[in-house]
Chain A
Amino acid sequence: MHDAAAYFADLLVLAVGTVPLFFLVRRAAWRRALLTLVGVWLLFVIAPRLAIFYLGYWLLVAGVQALVGTTKGWLRNLVFLVSLVVFVSPMVLWKLFPEAFTVDFNLWLHHFTWNLSPQLGAIDAVKGMVIPIGLSFSTFRALDLLITARLGLYERLSFGRVLFYGLFPPIMVIGPIAQYEELEKDDSLARLRFRTADLGLGLGRIAIGLVKVFVLALPLKSTEQIILNFPAYPPATLWVALFLFAWYFYLNFSGFSDMAIGAARLLGIQLKENFSYPYFQPNLQRFWSSWHMSLTRFAQRNIYVPAGGYRTRTQYLALVATMMVIALWHDLSLPLLIFGLYHSAGLLVTRIYVGRRKRKPAPAASLSGRLRLGLSVCATFGFVMMSFPLVLLPLGQIVRYYAKLAFWH
């Protein structure tokens, strides 16, 4: 089964040829076409059926986006609503019925590939089962595009541009959930010139990502197994494992984000940050503003603001709704629902507490002030750390896990 590490290995190898070629061609359309082709090849390497799926998916997004942009009134709203359902449903079905969806996803697409060409089908069969890697990220980017089109925030994008956005190689499988304007704004793609600074920064960022994933995170991966097999371990070990798992989770995810941001930077494209020292934040609000920031930004744009996050009366409801979407994006399951409620409660308390503290004078940079900051950072980390077993364990084991953690046998 293909994983994100193998994907990035292929991406970085292809970058050796793609980056010079990208700067050699000057026309934006050619540059888009080049990066789209690289994206298709990378998907093809995972499995031809995946390349066919995503090509079809983004062509459909392009068509619907054009339709939303050209229709008016109730028809526009209808097209928009139907398209939301159509584009969200694969991800929802996958999260609800992972096994059945994965099997059918592979079978249908494999048969389609086989019907296109038996030889391509034979190549596809070699790849075996693949998970719909990148589907969650694609869904959110597609939604972002459709919502933007619905709001008329920028002009309708051509098919070529939508395909370029959908199949932009650095962010295709593991995020960040970049907006279209991060990739290209007002034909900025044509104006990009080769700069050694970009190359240096990009390679440096990729190196940081590689170190995070393969040097720092990989040795901590076994903590996942310790948590999953918690009945066999004493509580002290479980505490150590939980602490280390929190770091594994962060280093692994942020390492891949670093690689994606670095790979885009090689082309001179500056993506927004996805992590900003989340474990060193003094409260939960700041934590969520620095953890998987592209998802937080997406939720803020499309849920928090429309749900009335900036209005006094509705702000708390908007906060809970936003947090629930972020939680359930990871998995549509009861443990993740609890995860969402847990963090919503934490955020509400933080919001109320921070709101009250704002009225008091800020503490001086004294020793006690620093000590308080240190304690806040530790408390925030502890709060977040305690929620990670919800991401890993099935519902039936969660209570037993926490009981064991609390030294109850």
Chain B
Amino acid sequence: MKKLLKLLQSFYLAEVARPLPLLRIACWTGLFLWLIPTFVHPCELREVVEFQEYVDPAEMVCVPITYHSTDGFRRDIAAKKADEFRYAWIGGSSLLVRRPSSDGLEDDIRFLPTLVQPLLRKTGGRRPLALMYSLEAGRLYDEYLCVLDALSHQPDLLVVELNPVWVYCDKDISFWPNLYADGVRLIPPRPQDWAYYLLLTSPSKMAEGALSPVFSVVNDRYRYYYRIVQWVQRGGGLAHRAAMQPTGDTAQPAPPRQTRLWTMPIAFWFMNELQYDRFPDPGVWQEQILLHYFNTSAAAANAHILDMMLRAIRDSGVPTLIYTAPLNPEVLRNPQVLARMETINAALNHLADSVSDPAVCFWLTNPDHPLKPEDYIDNLHLKNPEKFVDQLVDRIARILPPPREQTRAHEDHP
């Protein structure tokens, strides 16, 4: 009997009790992850969402959290209401319309998605709500992730703006790795798209995405980070303690020297491959990128990403307008740039021809758009968008189903 007990005890210690430390570690980790948000609250989400302060959240919700964020898309988007016409607009900084102030005060800032809103007549009486995905320096793969996120919010309409400078630039296919975490919930149903996701995304980003729905502390990671930053800026950090304040030469430090090691990816390749001593003005480098980093071949990464994006749109069945951002006519005066633009149009036309779905419409704006150089603040960003907005509304109206049909389709939804 004693032997048997001893045997059982040794078995218990060797096999049964063995997982206990693991369990203990898991319990403690879980407890801490649960306790942190109970006692330490993150800051308000609106503080960390770019552009939201400029618009009424009942009219437009800015979805990506882009302000130097470790976070990706906001996850507090309310479910679609019965009386809501929801449309998602994806693009770069060119969605922002900035009218410089004449009296030296703050510029008047508006957004293409809301400028279009009052002119939309085919919403069947439903209240329009825009989900805006405006990414400063947004690139093709980032836009693809935005498309997937937008489609997950059941939009009635999707508008995708492609920046002609970046759409076929295979030197910079992505700029916002903070969006990758959300790929964990967006990419799995699309096995053909896994390869790019796995090649671009780090394991920790995937873990962030996987843990976010489970632990609010992971989901709110950027809001905690932002709170710490605020605390440091308010004087909580060591460098801001009174004893650590500078007393001597407080002259403004010299701006950082532009070395060839500049860390922004495209700037690094641009300066070192094209042998520029400094990163030139946007007008110059955008032109140079169009001329030197340009690949419309079917084997290029950009063609694959565009293909992935189109497949996602087609599978969703959501009416979609894909347009290229109108460039300043000044840029198009350069015959080499114009030739590039024609090649881009040809490649996109080829892509459009491959889409047989009438709900997906392409609009290649360059060079035949109605805007003049004085409507721009630079090569891409607008200050007087009215003529362009009119055309956008017209294009959108063409792809939207008639209101009655749409209402009926909407009624089918629970």
Give the contacts of B120-138 with A (CB-CB under 8 A).
none
B residues less than 8 Å from A41 (CB atoms): 203
Which of the candidate stretches B95-103, B265-273, B278-286 sits at the interface with the other chain? Answer: B265-273
| Binary B-proximity of A15-51 (CB < 8 A = 1, otherwise 0) | 0000000000000000000000000010011000000
Once the chains bind, are A13 and B244 in contact (CB under 8 Å)?
A: no
Partner of B238 from the list A99, A110, A128, A220 (CB cut-off 8 Å) is: A220
Residues of A within 8 A of B (CB): 1, 6, 9-10, 12-14, 41, 44-45, 99, 102-103, 106-107, 110, 118-123, 125-129, 196, 199-200, 203, 219-220, 222-223, 225-226, 229, 231-234, 236-237, 240-241, 244
Once the chains bind, are B249 and A99 in contact (CB under 8 Å)?
A: no
Q: Does B395 count as interface, using CB distance less than 8 angstroms?
A: no
Once the chains bind, are A222 and B170 in contact (CB under 8 Å)?
A: no
Partner of A196 from the list B18, B206, B265, B269 (CB cut-off 8 Å) is: B18
Cβ contacts A to B, 23 pairs, < 8 Å: A10-B202, A12-B204, A13-B204, A13-B207, A45-B202, A110-B269, A118-B295, A119-B299, A119-B304, A122-B302, A123-B173, A125-B171, A125-B173, A125-B265, A126-B172, A126-B265, A128-B265, A128-B266, A128-B269, A129-B261, A129-B263, A199-B22, A222-B244
Q: Provided the pairs A129-B268, A225-B239 are in contact, do residues A123 and B204 lie with their beta carbons within 8 angstroms?
A: no
Partner of B301 from the list A6, A14, A122 (CB cut-off 8 Å) is: A122
Q: Does B52 count as interface, using CB distance less than 8 angstroms?
A: no
Q: Does B291 count as interface, using CB distance less than 8 angstroms?
A: no
A residues less than 8 Å from B16 (CB atoms): none
Partner of B246 from the list A120, A121, A203, A229 (CB cut-off 8 Å) is: A229
Nearest neighbor of A231 in chain B, beta-carbon distance? B249
B residues less than 8 Å from A102 (CB atoms): 261
A residues less than 8 Å from B253 (CB atoms): 229
A201 to B18, CA, bound (A): 14
Q: Does B300 count as interface, using CB distance less than 8 angstroms?
A: yes
B residues less than 8 Å from A1 (CB atoms): 263
Q: Does B192 count as interface, using CB distance less than 8 angstroms?
A: no
Q: Does B243 count as interface, using CB distance less than 8 angstroms?
A: yes
Q: Does B248 count as interface, using CB distance less than 8 angstroms?
A: yes
B residues less than 8 Å from A220 (CB atoms): 238
Q: Report B234 CB to chain A, min CB distance, Å.
A: 14
Once the chains bind, are B261 and A126 in contact (CB under 8 Å)?
A: no
Nearest neighbor of A120 in chain B, beta-carbon distance? B199
A306 to B406, CA, bound (A): 85
A residues less than 8 Å from B301 (CB atoms): 118-119, 122-123
Q: Does B409 count as interface, using CB distance less than 8 angstroms?
A: no
Give the contacts of B274-310 with A (CB-CB under 8 A).
295, 299-302, 304
Once the chains bind, are B173 and A122 in contact (CB under 8 Å)?
A: yes
A220 to B202, CA, bound (A): 28
Once the chains bind, are A240 and B246 in contact (CB under 8 Å)?
A: no
Once the chains bind, are B174 and A222 in contact (CB under 8 Å)?
A: no
Q: Report A96 CB to chain B, min CB distance, Å.
A: 16
B residues less than 8 Å from A10 (CB atoms): 202-204
Once the chains bind, are A123 and B261 in contact (CB under 8 Å)?
A: no
Nearest neighbor of A203 in chain B, beta-carbon distance? B25
Residues of B within 8 A of A (CB): 18-22, 25, 170-175, 196, 199-200, 202-204, 206-207, 237-239, 243-244, 246-250, 253, 259-266, 268-269, 272-273, 295, 299-302, 304
B residues less than 8 Å from A244 (CB atoms): 238
Q: Provided the pairs A196-B21, A225-B239 are in contact, do residues A123 and B200 lie with their beta carbons within 8 angstroms?
A: yes
A13 to B201, CA, bound (A): 13
Once the chains bind, are A13 and B203 in contact (CB under 8 Å)?
A: yes
Q: Provided the pairs A220-B238, A231-B249 are in contact, do residues A122 and B265 lie with their beta carbons within 8 angstroms?
A: no
B residues less than 8 Å from A222 (CB atoms): 237-239, 244
Partner of B263 from the list A45, A107, A128, A233 (CB cut-off 8 Å) is: A128
A244 to B241, CA, bound (A): 14
Nearest neighbor of A98 in chain B, beta-carbon distance? B261
- Extra contacts besides A12-B204, A196-B18, A225-B239 (4): CB < 8 Å: A14-B203, A103-B260, A103-B272, A232-B250
Nearest neighbor of B240 in chain A, beta-carbon distance? A222
Nearest neighbor of B259 in chain A, beta-carbon distance? A99
A342 to B106, CA, bound (A): 57
A residues less than 8 Å from B203 (CB atoms): 10, 13-14, 41, 45
A14 to B198, CA, bound (A): 13
Interface centre among B22, B173, B174, B261 (most CB of A within 10 A): B261
Q: Report B71 CB to chain A, min CB distance, Å.
A: 15
Q: Provided the pairs A13-B206, A126-B200, A129-B268 are in contact, do residues A231 and B248 lie with their beta carbons within 8 angstroms?
A: yes
Once the chains bind, are B246 and A233 in contact (CB under 8 Å)?
A: yes
A102 to B268, CA, bound (A): 11
Once the chains bind, are B247 and A103 in contact (CB under 8 Å)?
A: no
Once the chains bind, are B173 and A99 in contact (CB under 8 Å)?
A: no
Q: Provided the pairs A45-B203, A240-B243, A244-B238 are in contact, do residues A122 and B260 lie with their beta carbons within 8 angstroms?
A: no
Once the chains bind, are A106 and B244 in contact (CB under 8 Å)?
A: no
4 nearest A-B residue pairs (beta carbon): A128-B265, A222-B239, A122-B301, A232-B246
A106 to B271, CA, bound (A): 13
Nearest neighbor of B19 in chain A, beta-carbon distance? A196
Once the chains bind, are A232 and B247 in contact (CB under 8 Å)?
A: yes
Q: Report B138 CB to chain A, min CB distance, Å.
A: 13
Q: Provided the pairs A10-B202, A226-B239 are in contact, do residues A129 and B170 lie with their beta carbons within 8 angstroms?
A: no
Once the chains bind, are A122 and B246 in contact (CB under 8 Å)?
A: no
Q: Provided the pairs A13-B206, A219-B238, A231-B249 are in contact, do residues A126 and B260 lie with their beta carbons within 8 angstroms?
A: no
Once the chains bind, are A233 and B248 in contact (CB under 8 Å)?
A: yes
A1 to B25, CA, bound (A): 33
A residues less than 8 Å from B266 (CB atoms): 128
Partner of B273 from the list A107, A196, A236 (CB cut-off 8 Å) is: A107
A231 to B248, CA, bound (A): 7
Once the chains bind, are B204 and A9 in contact (CB under 8 Å)?
A: yes
Once the chains bind, are B171 and A122 in contact (CB under 8 Å)?
A: yes
A172 to B171, CA, bound (A): 28
B residues less than 8 Å from A13 (CB atoms): 203-204, 206-207
B residues less than 8 Å from A237 (CB atoms): 243-244, 247
B residues less than 8 Å from A234 (CB atoms): 247-248
Q: Report B330 CB to chain A, min CB distance, Å.
A: 28
Partner of B261 from the list A99, A219, A232, A233 (CB cut-off 8 Å) is: A99
A9 to B202, CA, bound (A): 9
A residues less than 8 Å from B207 (CB atoms): 13
Once the chains bind, are B250 and A118 in contact (CB under 8 Å)?
A: no
B residues less than 8 Å from A240 (CB atoms): 243-244
A10 to B170, CA, bound (A): 26
B residues less than 8 Å from A241 (CB atoms): 244
Nearest neighbor of A12 in chain B, beta-carbon distance? B204
A residues less than 8 Å from B264 (CB atoms): 128
Nearest neighbor of A230 in chain B, beta-carbon distance? B248
Once the chains bind, are A127 and B265 in contact (CB under 8 Å)?
A: yes
A380 to B291, CA, bound (A): 61
Q: Report B20 CB to chain A, min CB distance, Å.
A: 8
A294 to B253, CA, bound (A): 39
B residues less than 8 Å from A118 (CB atoms): 170, 295, 299-301
Q: Report A127 CB to chain B, min CB distance, Å.
A: 7
A275 to B412, CA, bound (A): 67
